Each structure stands twice: as structure tokens, then as C-alpha cells.
Amino acid sequence: MVRKITFLMLACLISMSIKAQQWVSFSSTAGQSAPAVNVLSSTSRSVSSEIVIPGIHTMDTVVNGVAFTRLILPLITLINTKSNS
């Protein structure tokens, strides 16, 4: 019984924290998307890559009476490679 109540309270807290987040877009495209890592070139001595971050989540938070905005990067889920042909 205690485990069920604990799980229910945890699920409620997670759903409230997800709803409290706001998306701030860095590009003109609408909607949320994960950052992308693009490998532009690579040799045995170096790797040149590009990281594209389309936006972030923000969440207003209060800790010890001090209010601040928390910045949350979405997870990187995709790695793209471009050939040097």
C-alpha cells in the first residue's frame, strides 16, 4: 500500500514538473526537437563537428527563497554524419 502511494505521488510530481516547463525556440521552425550533432569532417588527428540546439526548456524555480529560471537542454538523440565527397 505504501509503495502504491509513493509511486502515485512521484507520478504526480513528475507530471506537474513537465507541465511547468516552457519551450524557448532558437529558430523560426515551430515545435520542439532534440539537438543534433553533425560530424562535418574527421581524420586520424581531428574531428570537426557541429552541434545544433533548436531551443531549450525553461522552468521557474525557487530554492531557499531565491527565484531563478532553470535551463534544460533536451536530450541528444541523433548523430548525423556528412561525407567529404
| Region for 13 from its dihedrals, namely left if φ exceeds 0, alpha if ψ lies in -120 to 50, beta otherwise | alpha
Q: How confident is the model at residue 2 (pLDDT cuts 50, 70, 90)?
A: low
- DSSP structure class, residue 64: T
The pLDDT of residue 51: 86
- Report the C-alpha gap between 68 and 9 in whole angstroms: 25
The pLDDT of residue 13: 58
pLDDT tens for each residue of 7-44: 666 665 565 555 578 888 887 776 777 788 889 999 99
The pLDDT of residue 78: 47
pLDDT tens for each residue of 41-71: 999 999 999 988 888 888 888 889 999 998 8
Q: What ranges do the domains of the chain cover?
A: 22-81
